[in-house]
Structure 1
């Protein structure tokens, strides 16, 4: 069982039981927030989603005695964190980098798999910001496309950094195309095998640990079924 494997756990999942994911098999989780809010033995990774509450983030992190944090969530997108990279870099150096001096590892802002995202993070890093690992997202089709993207992103942004894939799934953004469950299953099996083999991939979390997903993300990617139990993919995720 890979110790790289974790879950992204939406805060609205309160009606589901996190314990369907055994903590001896799924070793870490995050919930896009700085607050754990759940009773579990899994290693919790706080996230600073955007600039809101950044002044208190360091105190919350120190209180929880965590080892790592995750940076801003898709800051290049107007419907997500929506941050200017220069202002984000200023805030990072003032409020986030002091945590690094206390031994906490810093995950980069988590970008989407677009040229816009890569440009944003490169601009951010060029301002002299320090990180310990890259956090990347990817949604699309074809395991080779997936692995090529994350490999190329690492080469562009810094091959010295290990990588966390904090969101990924098999999807089509074309409204006229659908992704079959067989294709999702094949991508799932192949991508986990490849990620486990790559030494520079430290951790990953499939998207998503929820009962349903928007149509453009494909319900076949859910790790939880309509009854709040593990789906077929969910059972594989905790057992392979």
Structure 2
């Protein structure tokens, strides 16, 4: 998502093409797994979150906010990870930017393709255009992290496993039987059961980036997340899973600031001030 998060759900695993051999996790500039999915731009917010436990952020764009570009020192030690949200990009421009920042080792691609209000690409459409991402990787050496899958709204493809299976099959059909370049798989999750969801995705043989996560469970009695205390409990559990699973390379909380905030997910209150949820995210132990 760029303004709101993905969905949650469950379901049985589907049959899939044979999984490729797992690659080495993509190298990263920051050694810190923990990040933030939010358009960070305020120097005070960077300062409040600094201290080593949160090392990177994504704003769903190739470049940081204009305020950061104008004064890059405000970002401190935090790394901006670029994203190509869909296929609306000029390859030459992207390559030129990435070559201007050789420290960038990973590129996030294709945000929530099976959500009709997000990237909204069928498996066949994504398979046809995926080589454009591969060409960027070929020219720059970046690792491709994506697609960023979740439970979606596209007819026939609400289950991310169903979408991925069809995407891989369509890519093989269109490109001589070879597999798409996917150096790590991105996933979004907003409910209970993160560990089980990742287990479903293990069959693809890829390391994971959880590029959006929180718990937005609603309408289920006491399980509904309707207080900061409940969100903090879920945050602690999700962070523990991400920190202890060796196949999770990075993870990012959604979001920095949101008003109104019905799910108590905001890390920031006023500029440079962490909420109690934000204070916990910064202080939770790393593995």
What is the match of residue 116 of structure 1?
159
SS of the residue aligned with 2:181?
Answer: coil
The residue that corresponds to 2:130 in the other structure is: 92
Task: Tell me the distance in 1 between the aligned counterparts of 2:90 and 2:114.
Answer: 18
Q: Deviations over 1:153-204 (max 9, x none)?
A: 222xx1x211010111111254988423232121111221121111111100
Q: Which runs of 5+ in 2 are unaligned?
A: 1-30, 153-157, 172-178
User: 1:48-197 maps to which residues of 2 (within 5 A)?
Assistant: 48-55=84-91, 56-65=93-102, 66-93=104-131, 95-101=132-138, 102-114=140-152, 115-126=158-169, 127=171, 128-140=179-191, 142=192, 145-155=193-203, 158=204, 160-174=205-219, 178-181=224-227, 182-197=229-244
Which residue of 2 is the match for residue 234 of structure 1? Answer: 278
CA–CA separation in structure 2 for the residues paired with 1:89 and 1:18: 37
Q: Please tell me whether residue 8 in structure 1 is matched to residue 37 in structure 2.
A: yes
Who wins on radius of gyration, i.e. which is larger? 2
Q: Matches of 1:227 and 1:98 in 2, distance apart?
A: 40
2:121 partner SS:
coil
Alignment TM-score, normalising by the size of structure 2: 0.71
Q: Give 1:23 shift.
A: 5.8
Q: Normalised by the size of structure 1, how large is the TM-score?
A: 0.84
- Kindly indicate whether structure 1 or structure 2 has the higher relative contact order, using CA contacts under 8 Å at least 6 residues apart: 2
Tell me if the contact between 1:72 and 1:109 (Cα under 8 Å) persists in the aligned partners.
yes
1:29 aligns with 2:76: no
- Contact conserved, 1:28 with 1:45, CA < 8 A, in 2? yes
CA gap 1:213/1:112 in 2 versus in 1, 3 angstroms: farther
Cα distance in 2 for partners of 1:231, 1:103 equals 38
Q: Does 1:210 align with 2:270?
A: no
CA distance in 1, matches of 2:59, 2:270: 20
Query: What is the aligned length?
Result: 228
Q: Which moved more, 1:2-11 or 1:62-71?
A: 2-11
Which stretch shows the higher mean deviation, 172-181 or 49-58?
Answer: 172-181
1:210 Cα deviation after fit:
1.4
SS in 1 for 2:212: strand
Deviations 1:93-152 (CA, angstroms, capped at 9, x unpaired): 1x2112333421110111123543322222223313111001000011x3xx22101111
Alpha-carbon distance in structure 2 between the residues aligned to 1:227 and 1:235: 14
**What is the aligned-residue RMSD (CA, Å)?**
2.4
Partner-residue secondary structure (3-state), 2:259: coil
Q: Is the CA contact (8 Å cut-off) linking 1:113 and 1:136 kept in structure 2?
A: no
Q: Using the alignment, how far apart are the partners of 1:213 and 1:68 within structure 2? A: 33
The answer (yes or no) to whether the contact 2:38–2:254 under 8 Å persists in 1 is no
1:170–1:99: structure 2 CA closer, same or farther, 3 Å change rule? Answer: same
